[in-house]
Every structure is written in structure tokens, then in C-alpha cells.
A and B are shown apart, each in its own frame.
Chain A
């Protein structure tokens, strides 16, 4: 008798299983068709980038090295130059080694000119370690302060 009971119980559990997968199969897919659809990145914090201010059309990095000093992983390599007659420096080199960056965000908090932020980039890949070093000044052309176009 116990065998019959066991078989019937087993059969019921099998049917329950089929019921579950059957129900799931008609529900909406939860996956993203990646290259065609992109994920919602509004809450995503990607690799650190410089903020471009609309008033000046450029970043506001004064090469103070505050970020480099607070960085726990020593990611930054920053050099700056003072434009003629100006009080503040301008960054001439701003490298961030993303392979060691842990995205802790301390540099964003400490930046006196608020010119650092998390980017929305999420799909980067590199073949060599050297390629993980981001040149944050790359998107900008000639510096308008250093060129004397802005004071």
C-alpha cells in the first residue's frame, strides 16, 4: 500500500512541477535583448569621469590633487599648469587607473570644484591592462583657460 501511495505522491509532485514550469513559460521574459535594448542606468555608477559644466563647456579641475591624496588605491596621476595671470591651476594630465579603482567615490566627495562624478558607462572591455588606464581629459580638446580663451 505504501508503494502505491509513494507512486501517487511522486506523480502528483511531477505534475506540480510541470504546472510550475508551464505557468512560468507563459509569463513575460525577464531578460534583456542586450544590444537592442539597454539597461536602465539612472542609478548606475560607472568609472569616474570629469563633469563638464555648461557655463564654461569644460571641466573645472584645478589639479589640486585632493582626489589623488584621498584615493585608497592610488589610482590618479594628475599634473597641472597655471595659465598666465590666473590664480588657479588647470589639469594638463588626468589619468585614472581603473584596474585598481574600487569605485568608492571618495574622490567625488573630496573634490573642491565638484568636477568628478560617476559615469553611466557599463559595457567596457579591454585586452590589455594598459588599456584600463582612463585618460579623463581625452574628451576635451585644447584647454580654453590655458589657451587664453577663458579667464
Chain B
């Protein structure tokens, strides 16, 4: 990587070279992981339902996602006549952008990440809320009643569930006294038990649960997948999308899962710290643990009704997250 940066740096300058390589690396990394995650999701689903899932393409169907992607690439890209054409075309491209930015902020070791920021957590929360705009663009521009309903639901849902996510993340921030994700991985700041540093999930279990529920809702995943509820809204916001444009939304969902899973790992599961294995591998393993739990939940729980979903967020999660935050502040205040 260093040599490559140097080589490219001679051509276009060091800063730009680092940027280009960083983005290329993150894109490649995310794409590879998403391909794997889609396969993993199908395997988890299959085994929970006592099936085997994809078995034909590659060993244990490991190349199934690539085959599916090739199929989607060859499909016709259909644009409805009544659609708002440019918004319709732009939405699947834009849906990737916020997640890509967020991914570059996740620390993977003691060394500097691709982008280092003292207020990384704020930037992440600000950016991850932007995904919903692309989803709403897709729903609105399709000029289809199901798509519009899906888009509207998505907006209402993300607005509601961003708050508990942020509040539960703040409880950790209160203890860590930093918004810098890099410093969240500093074991000196972690709570200690018998001289042993413990990740924040141990002292903030409620916040961890709320955070998990929140990110599940933010990624539009079951049991919070009402924006694309198949049984009532056909495909929701992506009803009118076909081929690779549909695949972009699909990919974005899994990228989002990966990034928010990594954020959860950074906040609650001790970031990249862990014995023996290198830091980046620990980040991936911990994120995958979060993601497998999300998949497990998806194939276990039925979908919530829209009003249940909203009252759950506003009447239970937000007060609970607020109470947890106040309790944390009080405990810290009296301890100090």
C-alpha cells in the first residue's frame, strides 16, 4: 500500500493519491464483504429454516452472489414513463455515498484510519441519516403509490430510530469523554474490573440493546422492514427498480449493515482490541457478530405493524435511552 501510494503520489500528489487509493480500497473491501454477507444471509436463513441454501455455484454456493449479480447486470433497466427521470436515475447511485463516507471513518487499528476526525461520531450520525434521502428519492420519483408509501415510511422510521441510536451512543461517549472513534478504542479509558479493561457493553448493556434495535431499524431490516414490506407494498421504495439499479439498493442495505455493525463494534465491543489476531480482523469479526445477530433476528421475528413500530420508538426506546443517558450522567457526576 505504501509503495503504491508513493508511486501514484509521484503522478497526482501525495494527498490525492492517498485519497484515491483509500476510496478504492474501501470500495473493494465493502464490495467483497457485501458479496459475502448476501451469501451469509441466505445461509443463515436456510439453516434456520432447516434448508441448505445455495449449494450449486462454487463450494457450498460461495459464488452464488456473483452469479446473481451477473444475472442482474444482464437485465433490462426499466424506467417508468411517469417517473421523475433524473431523480429516479440518481437515487440508486446516491444511496451508496453516505455509507462509503462512514466506512472510511471506522478505525481499524492504532495507526491512523483513512480519515481521522476528532468528532467522528457526530459526522457518522449526520451522514448515516442521509441514506434515507436516497430511499425517499427512489420512492417519490418512481411515481408509484407503493413506492411512495415505502419512502414515506422509511423517512418516518429513520427519523424515529436515529434518536435512540444517538442517545445510546451518547451514553458511551459520556463515559469515554470523547467523540473520536479512534480514542474509543483506547483501553485506558475503558471501565476496569480487577485491573482488566472491559468493553463498554459491560457497563452499558441497555444502551447496547437500544443501539442494536436502532441500527436494525435504520438499515430497514426485519422486523423493521416496513419500507419494503413485500406482503403489503410489493417491494416498497424499490418496486419500480430493475436490474443493476435494484442491486444497488440491495448492496447499499448490506453495506449499511456492515458499517453500522462496525460502528456498534467500535462503540460497545471494544473496537479493534483483542488478543493474538490483528486489529482489522477483530473489527471485522466483531462487526460480523453484530450482523449475524441482525440476520438471526430477521429470520425469527415477524414484521411490526407501522403504528406499533412508531409507538415502540417514541414511547419506549427514546424514553428508555434518555433515562439511561441521565442515569449514566448522574452516576458519573457523583463518582467524580
Contacts and interface: CB of A to CB of B under 8 A. Distances in A.
Bound together = yes
Interface of A: 7, 14, 17-18, 20-22, 24-31, 33
A85 B303 CA distance: 78
Interface string B49-82: 1111001000000000000000000000000000
Nearest to B302: A17
B44 A25 contact: yes
A107 B201 CA distance: 72
Given A21-B296, A33-B55, A27 B301 contact: no
B301 A26 contact: no
B177 interface: no
Interface residues of B, number: 15
B36 interface: no
A25 to B, nearest CB: 4
Nearest to B46: A29
Contact of B52 (A17, A21, A33): A33
B301 to A, nearest CB: 6
Contact of B50 (A17, A18, A29): A29
B47 A25 contact: yes
A31 B301 contact: no
Contact of B316 (A7, A18, A20): A7
17 contacts: A14-B301, A18-B297, A21-B299, A21-B300, A22-B296, A24-B48, A25-B47, A25-B48, A26-B47, A27-B50, A29-B50, A29-B52, A30-B50, A30-B51, A31-B50, A31-B52, A33-B52
Contacts of B49: 24
A17 B51 contact: no
Nearest to B43: A25
A104 to B, nearest CB: 35
B52 A18 contact: no
Contacts of B52: 29, 31, 33
List the 9 shortest-distance A-B pairs measured between CB atoms, nearest first: A25-B47, A21-B300, A25-B48, A21-B48, A17-B300, A31-B51, A29-B52, A30-B50, A29-B50
Contacts of A21: 48, 296, 299-300
Interface in B18-56: 44, 46-52, 55
A13 to B, nearest CB: 10
Given A7-B316, A33-B55, A28 B300 contact: no
Contacts of B299: 21
A17 B301 CA distance: 7
A26 to B, nearest CB: 7
Interface in B285-336: 296-297, 299-301, 316
B301 A29 contact: no
Nearest to A13: B301
Nearest to A22: B296
Contacts of A24: 47-50
Nearest to A32: B52
A30 B47 CA distance: 10
A11 to B, nearest CB: 9
Contacts of B51: 29-31
Contacts of A17: 300-301
Contacts of B297: 18
Contacts of B48: 21, 24-25
Contacts of A14: 301
Contacts of B296: 18, 21-22
A29 B55 CA distance: 13
Contacts of B46: 29
A118 B301 CA distance: 45
Nearest to A17: B300
A31 B50 CA distance: 7
B50 A28 contact: yes
A14 B222 CA distance: 13
A142 B300 CA distance: 61
